[in-house]
A and B are shown apart, each in its own frame.
Chain A
């Protein structure tokens, strides 16, 4: 009996590592494919927009609890599992990456090799948020992605706070309305030939932005150039 048990134990010890190895290999293959896809989208965005500063795109499974902004400090853009789970297509993944690129590219300008600007972005994220959103829309368009992917991605992934008066970030509804207005002004082609009209996330945006879209409608009707106060 003892011999049998010892043999069984040996068998188990031999089998377990081989299973572990196989699982790891499968994950590694998936990770490599995912990393390649992320790098391809990131590099395409850089090349199409003639952004002549270096940055890299790294797939990482878990987001760190301490947010050190690697995009600003090391020009290293992390794409986490938490990010990927909201991106249903390349437009949406490109939206996230384009936004991080616009932030990271900003860290190259200004004094001390961009340190001061990076510090400003870190100190006043609310100020820069809309600026980065809009630049990201242009980056997406030039690289051949549909900018409406930015709306669907943000609508799915960003929560809605109660107030933003003393917050470090804008209300997501305001950001979405600003992006929508920007696409309407700069790239109306994508709204006229809307590929996202049957997308659930886009429909949800249309539903939740009726009041904001009315405000934009009035602005355009009146020919005003004043900034709309979205809610």
Chain B
């Protein structure tokens, strides 16, 4: 009987030791402990047979820019629908409807005229199924590499002179009130 107990005890001990052998991500445990986090939405029930496509013109409420690192990933951005969105002669989204989007990511401008990039996604418009929106929007800054690369190649004739074009930076990416942010609504796409 003692043998059985000792065997049982050693089995429990070894299994518990192997569990504790793993490093725990305590930072995550502490910071996310009391937060109710839902599983991110996946888009797996797609059916792209339908071709009906309606543009939705949006206007940003507070302009954003990559200048001075003034934006962060995950930041919520407010929009307003610029014009009535109609489908089959019926207004689906009236003008002035509020919408939101999230800054998916951005890239600051780079050397040799490489422009900055802002990527927006997760657009949300009231009473509109998200799975029917093709909702990523990419805004780039001024691309100066069209000028920079030819100059760089011309300067390569003079030793090391080509490197001087590295100092020319690309343009910042801005989304201003005057910009038409266009995303597309596909009314016949499958719902998720």
Asked whether any CB of chain B lies closer than 8 Å to the CB of A169, the reply is no
B28 touches A184 (CB 8 A): yes
- How far in angstroms is the closest Cβ of chain B from A149? 15
CB distance from A110 to the nearest CB of B (A): 7
Q: Does B37 contact A (CB under 8 A)?
A: yes
The residue on B at minimum CB distance from A47 is B46
| 8 Å CB contact of B121 from A44, A138, A216 | A138
Q: Which residues of chain A come closer than 8 Å to B83, judged between CB atoms?
A: none
Whether, in the assembled complex, B99 has its beta carbon less than 8 Å from a beta carbon of chain A, the answer is no
Enumerate chain A residues within 8 angstroms of B149, measured Cβ to Cβ.
119
A contact face: mostly helix, strand, loop, or mixed: helix
**How far apart sit A189 and B39, CA to CA, in the bound complex (Å)?**
6
What does the 1/0 interface line of B107-138 toward A look like (CB < 8 Å)? 10011101001010100000000000010101
Q: Which A13-54 residues have a C-beta within 8 angstroms of B? A: 44, 47-50, 52
Let me know if A86 is at the binding interface, CB within 8 A.
Answer: no
Does the CB pair A203–B23 fall under 8 Å? yes
Interface centre among A120, A143, A191, A217 (most CB of B within 10 A): A120
Cβ 8 A contact of A111, one of B41, B42, B143 = B143
Name B93-115 residues within 8 Å CB distance of A.
104-105, 107, 110-112, 114
Contact B44 A143 (CB under 8 A): yes
Select from chain B the residue with minimum beta-carbon distance to A190.
B40
| Least distance between B50 CB and chain A CB atoms (Å) | 13
Bound-complex Cα distance A225 to B136 (A) = 23
Judge whether B27 is part of the interface by a CB distance below 8 angstroms.
Answer: yes
List 10 extra interface pairs beyond A119-B145, A124-B112, A186-B74, CB under 8 A.
A50-B46, A110-B143, A111-B143, A116-B146, A134-B73, A135-B104, A189-B37, A189-B39, A192-B37, A198-B22
